Amino acid sequence: MSSLTNEVKKSAYLAGFDLVCLSSAAPLAKDEARYKEWREKGYAADLQYMIREEPRRWVPQDLLPEARTVITLAVNFFSGARRMESKRGFGRVARYAWGKDYHEIVKARLEEWVKNLDILAGRSTKNKVLVDSGPLLERALAHQGGLGFVGKNTLIISRKLGSFIFLSEVLTDLELEPDILIEDEKKDACGACKECIADCPTGALVAPRQLDARKCIAYWTIENKGGIPEEMRSGIGDWIFGCDICQEVCPYNGLARQTQWKDLLPETGAGPYLSLLEVLSLKSDEEFKTRFKGMPIMRAKRVGLMRNACVVAANQKYTEAVGNLVSIVEREPDEMLKAHAEWALKQLS
């Protein structure tokens, strides 16, 4: 088993994955309790995919009945300066969305790599590939396998790369040797640091390792499909898609280094900034899809991205956007978007 385990890991690194760890596919009892407590507090907001009962995200066998081992693979997506400066007339984009859609990029390579398991095992194996798209407590598994620890910002933090990493998993029927987590449970890996909690402008980190999505900039600018409450708008600042503040201030991200995955570099996608005038000028869903096809920005949809741009324009006092905002009020059929444009105009006047 040890020999096969080593070959599986070696193969994954050769395929370009930055970190690999193995853990047992046994149900995660402790993490089940933590997850249920978080859900019951209402911290999932209206994210139905986060609160649905089945399949049980702490039981890998609900996704693959034959699962014996979980292989967790991480991809470094960091590129650019550790901290992004504000840029008048532009909205900031969270780093994970600078390049092409990682779901597709990582999944394609992972599905190709999984074919190696049959060769290495000398038999037909049963596997399931997940790239941030399945109901699984992936951070718990990554921690259990020693890939990283869960920081006070709720993210997996690698002591080698920091937190700018994508996680993906392969559930397999192979019996592989799990990595042994060596950790002093009485010692917090973040130490006394609370930079992420102190610097979150909307107070979304209500306690160490406790994120309330109802206060999170990333939730309101990406996942939320309705209006953004007025009391939340000023805290959004100039983030037009997602937010990186709790990662930018994390000392561990001093370890971040340039990604080797070319499809995740900013020149392949939206990049770190989006022009407010360009976004506010989008006239149709087709135009939006043409501009952002194959990029994570697609998740916000046209109306959502334009809604965000209205908020950023108001926060920046970007009066150059007045003409675009007036045009939205006059021609836009979506009442929610029109209301945000009207609100932005009031702030600018």
Q: State the chain's maximal CA–CA distance in angstroms.
A: 71
Q: Concatenated DSSP letters for 102-143?
A: HHHHHHHHHHHHHHHHHHHHTS---EEEESS-SS--HHHHHH
CA atoms 272, 278, 281, 286: torsion sign: negative
Instruction: Single out the residue of 139, 140, 117 nearest to residue 128, CA to CA.
Output: 117
Residue 86 phi/psi, 5-degree rounding, is -70, 150
**Active site residue: 132, 188, 199, 334, which one?**
132
Residue 119 backbone zone (phi > 0: left; psi -120 to 50: alpha; other: beta) = alpha
Kindly list the distances between the CA atom of residue 282 and the CA atoms of 97, 177, 277, 278, 335, in Å, as whole numbers in the listed order. Answer: 19, 52, 9, 7, 16
CA–CA gap between residue 68 and residue 25 (Å, rounded): 5
The 10 Å CB-count burial string (b at 16+, else e) for 149-186 is bbbbbbbbbbeebbbbbbbbbbbbbbebbbbeeeeeee
Q: Is 132 a catalytic residue?
A: yes
Can you tell me whether residue 170 is helix, strand or coil? Answer: strand
Q: Spell 7-22 as b/e; 16+ CB within 10 A means b.
A: bbbebbeeeebbbbbb
Q: Are 22 and 177 in contact (CB under 8 A)?
A: yes
Distance CA 61, CA 57 (A): 9
Active site residues: 132
